[in-house]
């Protein structure tokens, strides 16, 4: 890792590296001279990212299958990464995540709650719990946790997703405080729409998926642009990474007038189609 420049020459571990934002992190970190362990639930997707790193002719990659919702698998990822690098990694990107939406809070099934909390929140908890002690001992290293503008946006019918992402922001801020003066950096990325495969893999009713896909196609930032902004923010020592203008505007609007902001989101929500109350309550 370059002195004070964590994104340069990193020995990085990226979760969810087989697609979208994770894949863009892996490629950009390799382009900045890094070696990257590309971890994903889908091994062949992780391998395709490693193949893209090789085709790019810069950096180096190694594919690993890992389900971040399992603490044991994340611990195994840390051991594999250490063996691959021959030393402790310098950067962890806790990126793997999934979407659940389309229902009011009281209608979300317990199965959907457990699924999304398991990946989006416990995935990040497992990553921090496993890698931070290694960084702390080495007195260097950096963590980027991928949250979302949903963490503060309070979008209706996205409750479970919003809760997991707010948890990731809180976890990151707490870690940032706990690691002050240790030489270990922590940052949390809060994107709005980014053009990825997230909707294809999400648990969303059809009408919502179509609406969200439209917004993503129209307004989505290309993942490589987002990731370059995020890594530059990490290098500058920022804690909240908000590379997109609409994310920064919403962030400040929420802080300036939280009540008006949330009421406004409520009116937007009234325009959305609503999935039937009974459609997804099995296991509730
Ligand atoms: P994506 O679906 O394109 O990529 C997610 C990757 O994570 C996939 O390769 C998938 O196989 C992997 N994955 C899923 N569950 C996993 C698990 N349990 N363990 C390991 N890997 C797993 O989605 P993306 O948009 O690139 O999402 C990446 C992160 O960005 C997520 O945390 C998401 O919540 C966040 N995010 C995305 C957007 C957006 O608009 N795309 C906006 C804000 C935040």
SS3 201: coil
| CB atoms inside a 10 Å sphere around CB 234 | 23
Round the CA-based radius of gyration of the chain to a whole number and report it.
18
pLDDT of residue 111: 97
CA–CA distance, 248 with 216 (Å, rounded to integer):
18
Pocket test for ligand 1, best of 38, 43, 96, 244 (most atoms within 8 A of CB): 96
Residue of the CA atom closest to atom 39 of ligand 1: 194
Q: From the alpha carbon of 68, which atom of ligand 1 is closest?
A: 19
Q: How far does residue 91's CA lie from ligand 1's centre (Å)?
A: 18
Count Cβ atoms within 10 A of the Cβ of residue 277 and give its class: 0-12 exposed, 13-18 middle, 19 or more buried: exposed
What's 219's DSSP letter?
A: H
Q: How far does residue 54's CA lie from ligand 1's centre (Å)?
A: 23
Please indicate whether residue 201, judged by its CB atom, sits closer than 6 Å to ligand 1.
Answer: yes
Percent residues over pLDDT 90 in the chain: 85
Count Cβ atoms within 10 A of the Cβ of residue 251 and give its class: 0-12 exposed, 13-18 middle, 19 or more buried: middle
Q: Are 37 and 27 in contact (CB under 8 A)?
A: no
pLDDT in tens, 180-230: 999 999 999 999 999 999 998 899 887 778 888 888 889 999 999 999 999
Q: Is the dihedral of CA 60, 65, 71, 72 positive or negative?
A: negative
Q: How far does residue 106's CA lie from ligand 1's centre (Å)?
A: 25
Please indicate whether residue 64, judged by its CB atom, sits closer than 6 Å to ligand 1.
Answer: no
Q: What is the pTM of this model?
A: 0.95
Instruction: Give the DSSP H or E segment for 47.
Output: helix 43-56
pLDDT at 11 over 80: yes
Q: Which of 84, 161, 193, 261 is an active site residue? A: 161
Q: Are 243 and 233 in contact (CB under 8 A)?
A: yes
- Tokens, residue 57: 């002719």
- Tokens, residue 269: 């929500």
Q: Are 13 and 92 in contact (CB under 8 A)?
A: yes
pLDDT in tens, 232-261: 999 999 999 999 999 999 999 999 999 999
pLDDT of residue 117: 98
Please indicate whether residue 22, judged by its CB atom, sits closer than 6 Å to ligand 1.
Answer: yes
**Nearest in space to 141 (alpha carbons), one of 74, 225, 85, 64:** 85
84 is catalytic: no
Q: From the alpha carbon of 46, which atom of ligand 1 is closest?
A: 9
pLDDT in tens, 25-70: 999 999 999 999 999 999 999 999 999 999 999 889 999 999 999 9
20-31 vs 43-56: helix crossing angle, rounded to 10: 30
CA–CA distance, 163 with 150 (Å, rounded to integer):
8
SS3 236: coil
Count Cβ atoms within 10 A of the Cβ of residue 82 and give its class: 0-12 exposed, 13-18 middle, 19 or more buried: middle
């Amino acid at each position: 890792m370059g002195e004070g420049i964590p994104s340069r020459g990193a020995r990085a571990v990226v979760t969810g590296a087989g697609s979208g934002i994770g894949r863009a992190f892996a490629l950009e970190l390799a382009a900045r001279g890094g070696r990257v362990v590309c971890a994903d639930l889908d091994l062949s997707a992780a391998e395709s990212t490693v193949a893209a790193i090789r085709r790019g002719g810069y950096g180096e990659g190694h594919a690993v299958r890992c389900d971040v919702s399992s603490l044991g698998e994340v611990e195994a990822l840390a051991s594999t990464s250490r063996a691959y690098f021959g030393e402790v990694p310098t950067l962890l990107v806790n990126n793997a995540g999934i979407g659940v939406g389309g229902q009011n809070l009281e209608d979300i099934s317990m199965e959907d709650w457990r699924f999304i909390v398991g990946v989006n929140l416990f995935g990040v908890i497992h990553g921090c719990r496993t890698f931070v002690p290694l960084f702390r001992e080495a007195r260097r290293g950096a963590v980027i946790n991928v949250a979302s503008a949903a963490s503060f946006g309070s979008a209706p019918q996205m409750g479970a997703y919003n809760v997991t992402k707010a948890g990731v922001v809180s976890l990151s801020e707490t870690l940032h405080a706990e690691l002050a003066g240790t030489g270990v950096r922590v940052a949390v990325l809060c994107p709005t729409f980014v053009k990825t495969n997230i909707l294809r893999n999400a648990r969303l009713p059809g009408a919502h998926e179509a609406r969200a896909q439209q917004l993503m196609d129209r307004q989505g930032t290309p993942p490589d642009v987002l990731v370059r902004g995020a890594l530059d923010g990490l290098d500058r020592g920022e804690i909240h990474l908000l590379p997109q203008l609409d994310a920064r505007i919403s962030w400040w609007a929420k802080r300036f007038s939280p009540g008006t902001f949330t009421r406004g989101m409520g009116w937007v929500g009234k325009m959305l189609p609503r999935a039937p109350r009974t459609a997804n309550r099995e296991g509730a």
